[in-house]
A and B are shown apart, each in its own frame.
Chain A
Amino acid sequence: MTRPCSENTPMHRVYVWELPIRLTHWLIFVATIVLAATGYYIGHPFISVSGPARDHFVMGYARSIHMYAAIVFAMAVFVRLYWLFAGNQYARLTELVPLSGRRFRSLFHAILFYAFLRREPDEYPGHNAMAGSSYAMIFSVYVVMIATGLALYAVGTAPGSPFHIFNNEAPWLYGLQMARLIHHIGMWIIFIFVVLHLHFILLSSLIDRTGALDSMFSGYKFMPNKEGTARD
């Protein structure tokens, strides 16, 4: 195995994740947990209370929290999408959608590596192309979730509210029930993504010792001076 990092390998710091990337990452992280928990309750109200209705506000709180978390989520996703065009080389759209020959090779490299068919991981401080593609996919799901969420929210707004305009989504979505179904499917896609994302991050951090997890706090990755190993 050629995994050249040992305690004596000379390293240097690379500034990979800029502040907006880290900030939006953790905002999306927290918002997703809150949205999934409250959203699951909204879809399947498993808590039923008794007594006079005025004594309780379970669904009311769930929906309020869901909507405030949705604002945080939507803003964070918006900033992250803007950073696809304004960010550094590691944040850009080209890192997410493998269109260049280099990124294509990176994609197959990563797939073969994780399939135990190649020995060396991709040597690159940013995302490997497999990780990048998964982010492109999940950002698209985020956009769909925001769009369907706004369509479901808009029906409760009064004419004149700035959100009333999102009622125009309903005809495109084949009605609000379809928006609701897509919203459910989207949550499960995000869940499956979270499992995969956690898995590869923990592999990268605990087994390959790339400091991938720490880098999402500090922004820095440590690369060996000549050859580096980076897996996302």
Chain B
Amino acid sequence: MNAPGLAQRLERSGLSRRDFLSFCASMAAVLGLPDTAGQAIAAAVENEAKPILIWLEFQDCAGNSESLLRAGHPTVADLILDEISLSYHEMLMAAAGSQAEQVLSETVRDNAGKYIVLVEGSIPAGADGAYCTIGGKSALQIARDICGKAAATIAVGTCAAFGGIPAARPNPTGAMSVGDAVPGVANLINMSACPANAENITALIIYYMTMKRWPPLDQYRRPLFAYGKSIHDSCERRAHFDAGQYVEEWGDDAHRHGHCLYKMGCKGPATSQNCPIVKWNEGTNWPIGCGHPCIGCAEPNFWDTMTPFYQRLPNVAGFDVGNWVDPVGLGLTGLVTAAVAMHGIGEVVRHRAGEKSSDNSGSENE
């Protein structure tokens, strides 16, 4: 089931060992490791015991599953993930109904403290969790039960990591992130973005298989290898930003020349992810690469603070603050200037009157 199993599977899918090794090298690159780490990764994938994965799906659009399965043809990554025992994935597994739930509960029972849970989607806590139930249990119950016994929980996508779109104002279902729904969950790792990049999820699992530990995380518990740098700082259009060359409207000359989208509301400066490096759809392209500003989908509260997408500053609590803060500031400064000018005139008048009255009193004394 180990090395021969993988080799046979690769062969059956028309993939060579060269493909496998170049996949391992590309994983090393995503992780920011040197070339030689590719060998260690290949050895780990071939020889180490495969972690048991459970994929839970709650309040979401299944976009992360789609992203993971995006490949038009089988890739090495798919095979690796097949090779890893993906015990439960509602969208992928053949079993359904009570049969499927039985598989889940058996996996959890037999592998307590050893399996890894990948959670997709936010967890609605409103109405006692009634907004999302599976097999008669609420998402909140399932998450607490299954994540609570896991070796690690990977929140896949912005919904699971930060609440995402379901948790955006006014958050009718009381949606929350996995971290909030299961306080103190062991080894929580947030793989945000809408959807999470499949390369990064694969790389994370490969890292764990190779290193036997989880990678260093940032302030939002996201791995630094994927979220350690802002999009702005690794953007291919950064030279145009620094030069002062900006797209002013869609389709203008600057847009056609691939200039910076900063003035079109690009949220690259506020968003950390490795999109410019890893890109999407097997490295085909990425949003800014095809002329659209970053919408900041990998950040917490992105629907509330990154909108309006085509504006630099956010709106707050329904007021159009971002759009107006600078004109209002300028107007207020003008008003205050006018007010103090009036006050200054008043002071001059008072001063003159004072001089006159003291002159008068002076002459009276004489």
Q: Which residues of A line the B interface, CB within 8 A? A: 1, 3, 43-45, 47-50, 53-60, 63, 114, 116, 152, 155-156, 158-159, 167-168, 170-171, 174-178, 180-181, 184-185, 187-188, 191-192, 195-196, 199, 202-203, 207
Q: In the complex, which of the residues A59, A167, A199 contacts B243, with contact meaning CB atoms closer than 8 Å? A: A59
| Complex contacts, A152 vs chain B, CB 8 Å | 269
Q: Which residues of B line the A interface, CB within 8 A? A: 216, 218-220, 224, 228-230, 232-233, 239-246, 248, 254, 262-263, 267, 269-270, 272, 296, 299-302, 305-306, 312-314, 316, 321-322, 325-326, 328-330, 332-333, 336-337, 340, 343-344, 346-348, 350-351, 353-355, 357-358
A43-B239 in contact (CB<8A): no
Known pairs A159-B228, A180-B313, A199-B340; A47 contacts B244 (CB<8 A): yes
A116-B350 in contact (CB<8A): yes
Query: Sorted from nearest, which 8 A-B pairs have the closest CB atoms?
Result: A188-B329, A1-B354, A58-B244, A56-B243, A60-B242, A176-B270, A199-B340, A53-B243
Residue on B nearest A50 in the bound complex, by CB: B245
B243-A185 in contact (CB<8A): no
In the complex, given contacts A45-B244, A57-B244, A192-B333, what are 11 additional A-B residue pairs having Cβ atoms less than 8 angstroms apart? A54-B243, A56-B243, A57-B243, A63-B242, A167-B218, A171-B220, A177-B296, A178-B316, A185-B329, A199-B343, A202-B344
- B364 to chain A minimum Cβ distance, whole angstroms, is 15
A159-B343 in contact (CB<8A): no
Q: In the complex, which of the residues B229, B232, B314 contacts A177, with contact meaning CB atoms closer than 8 Å? A: B314
| Complex contacts, B358 vs chain A, CB 8 Å | 1, 3
| Complex contacts, B272 vs chain A, CB 8 Å | 155
A181-B336 in contact (CB<8A): no
| Complex contacts, A116 vs chain B, CB 8 Å | 346, 350
How long is the Cα–Cα vector from A116 to B343 in the complex, in angstroms? 10
Q: In the complex, which of the residues B218, B233, B347 contacts A203, with contact meaning CB atoms closer than 8 Å? A: B347
B244-A177 in contact (CB<8A): no
The residue in A156, A174, A177, A207 that gathers the most chain B C-beta atoms within 10 A of its C-beta is A177
| Complex contacts, A159 vs chain B, CB 8 Å | 216, 224, 228
A181-B321 in contact (CB<8A): yes
| Complex contacts, B355 vs chain A, CB 8 Å | 1
| Complex contacts, B321 vs chain A, CB 8 Å | 181
Q: In the complex, which of the residues B270, B313, B328, B336 contacts A175, with contact meaning CB atoms closer than 8 Å? A: B270
- B351 to chain A minimum Cβ distance, whole angstroms, is 5
Residue on B nearest A56 in the bound complex, by CB: B243
B244-A56 in contact (CB<8A): yes
- A165 to chain B minimum Cβ distance, whole angstroms, is 9
Q: In the complex, which of the residues A1, A168, A195 contacts B336, with contact meaning CB atoms closer than 8 Å? A: A195
How long is the Cα–Cα vector from A3 to B347 in the complex, in angstroms? 13
The residue in B240, B244, B322, B340 that gathers the most chain A C-beta atoms within 10 A of its C-beta is B244
Q: In the complex, which of the residues B220, B301, B325 contacts A174, with contact meaning CB atoms closer than 8 Å? A: B301
- A194 to chain B minimum Cβ distance, whole angstroms, is 9
How long is the Cα–Cα vector from A54 to B170 in the complex, in angstroms? 46
A59-B326 in contact (CB<8A): no
B329-A184 in contact (CB<8A): yes
| Complex contacts, A185 vs chain B, CB 8 Å | 325, 329
Known pairs A59-B242, A156-B230, A176-B270; A184 contacts B326 (CB<8 A): yes
A155-B346 in contact (CB<8A): no
A48-B325 in contact (CB<8A): no
A43-B333 in contact (CB<8A): no
- A198 to chain B minimum Cβ distance, whole angstroms, is 8
| Complex contacts, B245 vs chain A, CB 8 Å | 48-50, 53, 56
Residue on A nearest B230 in the bound complex, by CB: A155
B305-A167 in contact (CB<8A): no
